[in-house]
Chains A and B, each alone.
Chain A
Amino acid sequence: MFNQYTLVRRSQVSFKGILLVPLVTFALALLGSIVLFGALGANPLEILYRLLIDPLSSTYNISEVVIKAAPLILIAQGLAIGFRAKVWNIGAEGQLIIGAVVASIIPITFPDSQNVLMLPLMMLAGMFAGAAWAGIAAVLKTRFNANEIIVTLMLNQIAIQILFLLINGPLKDPMGFSYPQSVSFPEVAMYPLLSPEGLLRANASIYVVLLLSVVALIYVTRTFSGYTLLVGGLAPDAARYAGFSAKKAVWISLLIGGAAAGLAGMGEVSGPIGRLQPSLSPGYGFAAIIVAFLGALNPIGIFVAGTFMAIIYVGADGAIIDAGLPPAAPTIFQGMVLVFYLASFALVQYRIVRLQPEATA
């Protein structure tokens, strides 16, 4: 039974197919979620409404979507550059945490500062820290050939413990009783809010994300370095023959991915959170992996996919409270998205061919 069919790579992948993949994927994952959670007793129509309509139904909810879209898109743009080169940075969550921790040291040290340079300084600190944390994996990969998937994952676990250690120690608010959290950041350490009245939480970090998305687009489509990374991933032998260094690809991929995740971490503490605390991200670092693939590793696609994923995040928050959706639902949904993406992408990439019976022997 297994040997009767095979897949043959299509000579030309249709553009329409590429566009259809994310749509079909989302539709299937939504359908899967409705069936699963409906079977568990939630009202399917209510879930659909909460997930897709509710997040866009008020200015406040749209602002919440923007808050969640910013880190997802930012991290995914960084990771995608590595994924194109087949460098598997799975450690964005840890890079986000380290970026946030290091950036936080500045406002925690100068809580009464009114120096407007603090925010840009924190952005730099977050980027450098995230890149340095990912750089550990780059050193180990290039010098010792250590698998970057396992190293970046282990670094996630270590990053969490570093955060816990510091937030219970030197970075803890001395006046904060037993709560493991830092002092509130001064205004100069925060991204300015988009709405002047301060009723909405969305902040200027989305402009940074937009700008960097454009930079990513230029990088992958217009520069030699971005092209090299792509070739290195698709045809490592050809790339090596042409003089492209695999080591350089590892370094560039991990440093860019780490910097993006670190900046996203800084954006959380300088945005919706406003201080350093033990929980910084609802798994943005992992969700961004899915966003990167769903966006076909293309900066524009990632922007769209990240926005969709943010809508689902905000919708799921509401549905967990109001429609009896289990808290694990967003993770299950993300898993389903990636599974359906891989399957539907394969159908665009390959044709199913029936093998001749005598040829299998």
Chain B
Amino acid sequence: MIDRQGLAKLVAADIPAGAFVNLGIGLPTEVADHLAPDSGVVLHTENGMLGMGPQARGGDVDRDLINAGKVPVTELPGASYFHHADSFAMMRGGHLDVCVLGAYQVSARGDLANWHSGAPDAIPAVGGAMDLAVGAKQVFVMMNLLTRDGKPKLLPECTYPLTGLRCVTRVYTDLATFLITGGGVVVRDLHGIEFTDLQNLLDVPLEQELS
């Protein structure tokens, strides 16, 4: 089993040099800390910026410069600003190489549920989640494989309200990394668990990547 930092490191290592990437709020944001300084990866934030730098501290905080999580950030050389419609056109138009998102559930087909717990009294809030899910060329999900009470979050069908259909391409979890392919769910890496034990945790048929 790998921890949050380990997972963030794993995702960062899989982001191609020079890629344009959107990191979702929460755990995906931590991927930025593990990108190699010379990777040339350009971070997009949906509130209108390419070339986002690390979180701003102290005197660098500027209320006009925040990320999608409304955290003050910095700008890197070569940064650009644009309005919201352009920012989402960039996303929806398939110009982003990768987006990394958290999830409540992912289905074996790559359906994503990450915006609504389904609780009847919850105040719904979607933000840019649905746009990100359908827009990027590759959608990576980072999540624990099991809920706190041990239920799998990689399922034959999502039971929570969907964010997007057939959009997830990879799922990075504490126990394994999964590739969602047209032919099914392929286990790429095991993180300290045997394949048969992993298969026993899930109702989704798994294949093991030949290496």
A-B complex is real = no
Chain A interfacial positions (CB closer than 8 Å to B): none
Chain B interfacial positions (CB closer than 8 Å to A): none
